[in-house]
Structure 1
Amino acid sequence: MNTSEFLSLLKQHQDKSLLFEYTDGKFVGANYHITEVKNITIDSIDCGTQTDFWKETIVQLWESPDEIGKTEYMSTYKALAILNKVDRIKPMTRDAEVKIEYSNDNFHTAQLFVNDYALDTNSLIFKLSVQKTDCKAKETCGVSEKTEKVVAEEGCCTGNSACC
């Protein structure tokens, strides 16, 4: 989901509570705060020497230990107000992918993709997902789609590989 779509959903549903489902059936606690918004520029080169460039908007969520047990979630209205304030100071790129950065005691820190959303009577729920790392240069590097377990002693680069 891009930043524009994310903001549009918030704007359309300002009367609802804002929830984030970080894995199936598990939600960021109601004690969360939006602690940072990052406008990220990625300028990369993959193992096959192909360059790439894109932008991302990262919205960081943090659960306040002082508000454990809180049951009322942040409203989309409040989240939108925070993001609009950020946008006035550091404009967000509207076509940039939006990701949610989050962790808790039982879930590693991750930048999660907004995979989908759901609505119910009271809530706008963003369904988040982790995307596995992948080789972008499979063809160049001679990597098959089906991955095989690599034995550590062999190393990752061979004399026949176009990579490394």
Structure 2
Amino acid sequence: MKLSEVKKHLAALETIAFQLPNGELVPNHFHVTEVGKITKNFIDCGGTVRNEEVVNFQLWNADDYDHRLHPEKLIHIIELSEKVLGIEDLEIEVEYQGNTIEKFGLDFDGTNFRLTSKQTDCLAKDNCGIQAEKPKLNLSEINNEPCCSPDGNCC
């Protein structure tokens, strides 16, 4: 989800809720402690130089159980970040504390912002000898027509 989409959804909400991939909600007294741009410059295992940029939200829980972040306040923080940091309309990455700092993608289901699982991947499979995954077919999907004709001399 891009930053512009987050702002659009926030403008239509009265409360903000984030849902973890396991279905649990982030406690509603969460804080957004950071809104920023993260730039990652790297070389993949195939030698290609890459540059990735995301907008980062960091969610944090404190012991202030009466705290509630309202949508208009988060919009204000986002707009200030856009102005001061020059943040563009990039994809969102969310950090949240698990056993370590966990990183998530972001989606919206009409009510809640959903934290989506992210996976590692090789970006240079063709240079590493990793074969592209072949599509799996069910036997029921295979064409039932015979492959040979009686006079085809194939058997």
* TM-score over 0.5 for the pair: yes
Question: Could you tell me how far apart the structure 2 residues matched to 1:108 and 1:139 are?
Answer: 32
Question: Could you tell me how far apart the structure 1 residues matched to 2:50 and 2:59 are?
Answer: 28
Question: Could you tell me how far apart the structure 2 residues matched to 1:66 and 1:73 are?
Answer: 9
Q: Does 1:56 pair with 2:54?
A: yes
Please name the residue that 2:116 is paired with: 129
Please name the residue that 2:145 is paired with: none
Please name the residue that 2:142 is paired with: none
Number of residue equivalences: 133
Which runs of 4 or more aligned residues in structure 1 lie more than 6 Å from their structure 2 counterparts after TM superposition? Answer: none
Question: Could you tell me how far apart the structure 1 residues matched to 2:132 and 2:24 are?
Answer: 31
1:82–1:9 CA distance, 2 compared to 1 (3 A): same
Q: Does 1:102 pair with 2:96?
A: yes
TM-score by length of 1: 0.72
1:65-104 equivalent positions in 2, closer than 5 A: 65-67=63-65, 70=66, 73-94=68-89, 96-104=90-98
Question: Could you tell me how far apart the structure 1 residues matched to 2:132 and 2:22 are?
Answer: 27
Please name the residue that 1:31 is paired with: 29
Q: How far 1:23 moved relative to its partner? A: 1.7
Please name the residue that 2:14 is paired with: 16
TM-score by length of 2: 0.76
Q: How far 1:134 moved relative to its partner? A: 0.8
SS at match of 2:121: coil
1:103-118 equivalent positions in 2, closer than 5 A: 103-104=97-98, 107-114=99-106, 116-118=107-109
Q: How far 1:108 moved relative to its partner? A: 3.6
SS at match of 1:66: coil
RMSD (Å), alpha carbons: 1.9
SS at match of 1:77: helix
Residue pair 1:3, 1:92 contacting (<8 A) in 2 also: no
Q: How far 1:145 moved relative to its partner? A: 4.7
Please name the residue that 1:159 is paired with: none
| Matched AA of 1:10 | L
Question: Could you tell me how far apart the structure 1 residues matched to 2:101 and 2:48 are?
Answer: 28
Q: How far 1:3 moved relative to its partner? A: 1.5
SS at match of 1:29: coil
Q: How far 1:57 moved relative to its partner? A: 0.4
The runs of 5 or more residues in structure 1 that have no matched partner are: 147-164
Please name the residue that 1:139 is paired with: 126
Residue pair 1:22, 1:28 contacting (<8 A) in 2 also: yes
Q: From the CA coordinates, give the structure whose radius of gyration is larger.
A: 2
Q: How far 1:38 moved relative to its partner? A: 2.0
